[in-house]
Amino acid sequence: MFFRSMKRITIKHFLVAGLITFLTGCSSLPIQYTPSQNYNNRVRYLVLHFTGGNFEKSMNYLVKGKRSVSSHYLIPENHDETYDKKLKIFQLVDESFRAWHAGISYWDGQENLNDLSIGIELVNVPDCHQSPEELFSRDYASRLDYSNHYCFYPDFDPEQISLLIALIKKIQKKYPEITAKNIIGHSDIAPSRKLDPGPRFPWYHLYKEGIGAWYDNETVTRYWHNFAENPPSVELIQIALSEYGYRVKQTGEMDEQTTDVIVAFQTHFLPWQIDGEPDIMTAATLFALLEKYHPLRAKQLLTLYDRDQLP
C-alpha cells in the first residue's frame, strides 16, 4: 500500500511539474512585437436607439433577457419611476465585444453592423396606441401609415442628452473611424422594421456639438430652386439614398421599401415632415448631404439629373 501511495504521489507531482514547465516555456517564447501600420479598429459605426420602455424593464431586457438583445451602453432619464438616482451611464458590454443591438442591418455597403459598431440605448418611452411589441415589430412597422399619429414621442431628457454627448465625444477620440456620417439611428440601418430613436431625437443639437451629419441650409435652398420645376425621378432619389448609405433597390417605383427608407431619412433629417413622399424638400436635403459628405457622388448624380431633363 505504501508503494502504491508513493507511486500515485510521484505521478501527480510529475504532472504538476510538467504543467509548470509548459506554462513557463510559453511565457518565454521569443516574440518580438513589431507594430504594423496596416490595421484599423473594429468599431466604425455608432448606432443610437431608444428603449421604448422604462429603465427597469430596459435593464432587465438588455442584461437578463432571453431574446439575445444587448447594447454597449444604457442611459436612463429623469422622471422615471423605476430610476430615482442621479443620472449616470451604464456600460453593459465591453466595447471590444459585439453587443446584439443592430440585428439585420445595413449601412453604406456594410451588413451586420453588430460586428463593427457600438450601440447606445436611451431610455425614452413613446405613448403609443399600440403596444410597443406590436408597434416596433418587423411586420407591423413596415405597414405603418406614416401620415397618422400612432405615437406621441416625448422630448429626450436634456441631462440624458448631455451625458450622451460626453460619451460620444469620448468614443470618437478612441475610434476615429466613426465619421460624422457613421453616427446613425436604428431606423437608418433597418428602416423596414425599426423606428428608433424617433422623430424627437435631437440630431441637430448633436451636430452643433460636433457629432453626426447635417446639411447646410444654403445648399438645400440652392437644390430646392434647382429642383422646383423638374423634381428628380423616383429612380434618381433611390440612387441618391443608396449613395448616401441606405439600402434601397432601384426600381423606379414608389414601392414599400422606398417609402420606408424615405421615412427613415425624414425622421433623421426632416422630422417635421414625415410622410414618406419624395418631394422637392426631401430631394434637396438629400442632395445637400451628398454634396457635403460625398461631393464626387453628388456631382455624378447631378450629371444623371441633367441627362434626365433632356428632351
- pLDDT value of residue 42: 86
The Cα–Cα gap between 1 and 227 comes to 99
Ordered domains of the chain (ranges, CATH): 45-208 (3.40.80.10), 217-309 (1.10.101.10)
The neighbour count for residue 56, using CB atoms within 10 Å, is 14
Place of cell 422630422: 271
Rounded CA gap, 252 and 50, in Å?
33
The pLDDT of residue 230 is 93
Query: What does the pLDDT read at residue 308?
Result: 75
Q: What are the CA-CA distances from residue 88 to residues 85, 158, 283, 303 (Å)?
A: 8, 13, 39, 50
The confidence score (pLDDT) of residue 152 equals: 85
Active-site residue 121, yes or no?
A: yes
- Tell me if the bond preceding 197 is cis, omega within 30° of 0: yes
pLDDT of 311 reads: 52
Report the candidate in 225, 148, 141 with the shortest Cα–Cα distance to residue 186: 141
On the CB side of 254, how many CA atoms lie within 13 Å of its CA?
10
pLDDT, tens digit (0-9, with 9 covering 90-100), for 178-237: 999 999 999 999 999 898 999 999 999 999 999 999 999 999 999 999 999 999 999 999
Residue 241: what are its φ and ψ, rounded to 5°?
A: -60, -40
- For residue 268 the three cell numbers come to 433623421
Q: What is the pLDDT of residues 132-148, one digit of tens each?
A: 555 444 433 333 333 34
* Residues of the chain scoring pLDDT < 70: 1-27, 129-150, 310-311
Of 56, 81, 111, 121, which one is the catalytic site residue?
121
Owner of C-alpha cell 453604406: 108
Model's pTM, two decimal places?
0.84
Contact criterion met (CB below 8 Å) for 149 and 11: no
